[in-house]
Amino acid sequence: MSGRPLDGVTVVSLEQAVAAPFATRQLADLGARVIKVERPGAGDFARAYDETVHGLSSYFVWLNRSKESLTLDLKAPAGREILTELLSGADVFVQNLAPGATARLGLAADDLTERFPRLVVCEISGFGADGPWADRKAYDLLVQAETGLMSLTGTPDTMAKVGISVADIAAGMYAYSGVLAALLQRTTSGRAPVVRVSLFEALAEWMGAPMYYTEHSGRSPRRVGSEHATISPYGPYATAGGDQLVVAVQNDREWARFCVNVLADPSVADDPRFARNSARVAHRAELNALLAARLAVLAADEAADLLDAAGIANARLRSTAEFLDHPVLAGRNRWRDVGTPGGNVRALLPPADLTGIAPRMDAVPAVGEHTDTILRLLGRDPGDIEKLRADGVV
């Protein structure tokens, strides 16, 4: 087994909530040492979003494995001094604090890169580091609203948010890839560029297809519930036993095969209402009635076999509980045990498999669990540490 790609890389993170912790957890997956700086006492407020996983929140357990927790009061000079010591030997600094918070602490990106030219500084903001909304707070739901994503999601009568923190996740992914790119740049130039990511611009990128559709058609894609706004048939249909299959016809060749093999009526393929995808979208209600009538008399397995034989992509409409027992995850051995302060949990391996390299899957830390160890490595003796704790610095 070869070493992990980021073995030897040290990441210091002033992180909270979702976006930055997601970025740094993925760096930890690749072997980086991630020192998570938390507030003394409660720590990252995301720890208490809920208490469902051995007393910790589901978000926190997902996002914070394989990290070391150091508590610091950064309003105290001694706390800022410790952080500066850490940064002097770190490779990456990630932060997603409130607008202006790091600048007030003397930790603005440009100042840090001037002092530590090899340090990759990654800042995650709501609406950008500058511009008219630089000082506005941003949370996932707000960004889903501002980008127009919610206008696309839901039923014709009711908008809905995406069921996961998609803006945070998008920003975390771009922060992660941006840090990797900056580390690569550093190897050739000796200096690291600053990485700046905003939740708004990350999700704006993901709005590319509806953006172009709206700009060049003059109309927004319609909300069609669990169907696809611009492709049909592409959505769930009930089968005889009550299970639902999602049918995904992607082009006119597949549609012709669907008519022959599933509908058992080749003539439907040539019906002007259904002959092209744009026509099928325009006549969605009639098409859905036709498909619903056919699939309602077929058991789910029988319908899936017909779809598979025709080369039509399909899926079972599963609940989250059913997803946990998904045969692909079990069959590909994707689950691992990870420790938490309250006990072990199952965790999925990272999606990117690197040949011959096992990702880190270490425990989720308790608040301040590694404070003493980190301070000792910085040269603090037990008396120093005790004074810092008595003064509320750690």
Active-site residues: which are they?
228
Is the peptide bond preceding residue 40 cis, with omega within 30 degrees of 0? no
Closest to 28 measured CA to CA, from 52, 12, 49: 12
Sign of torsion over alpha carbons 110, 116, 118, 122 = negative
Closest to 13 measured CA to CA, from 36, 38, 39: 36
Do residues 26 and 20 lie in contact, with contact meaning Cβ atoms separated by under 8 Å? no
Q: 291 is written with which tokens?
A: 């498909």
Q: 19 is written with which tokens?
A: 């976006």
Measured between alpha carbons, how far is 305 from 314 in angstroms, rounded to an integer?
A: 10
How do 33-38 and 10-14 pair as beta strands? parallel
Measured between alpha carbons, how far is 167 from 146 in angstroms, rounded to an integer?
A: 11
Q: 385 is written with which tokens?
A: 């540490």
Do residues 54 and 342 lie in contact, with contact meaning Cβ atoms separated by under 8 Å? yes
Do residues 119 and 192 lie in contact, with contact meaning Cβ atoms separated by under 8 Å? yes
Q: Is residue 84 classed as helix, strand or coil in its secondary structure?
A: helix
What beta strand segments (E) does the chain contain? 10-14, 33-38, 67-71, 92-95, 120-125, 195-198, 234-238, 244-248, 313-316, 335-338, 345-348
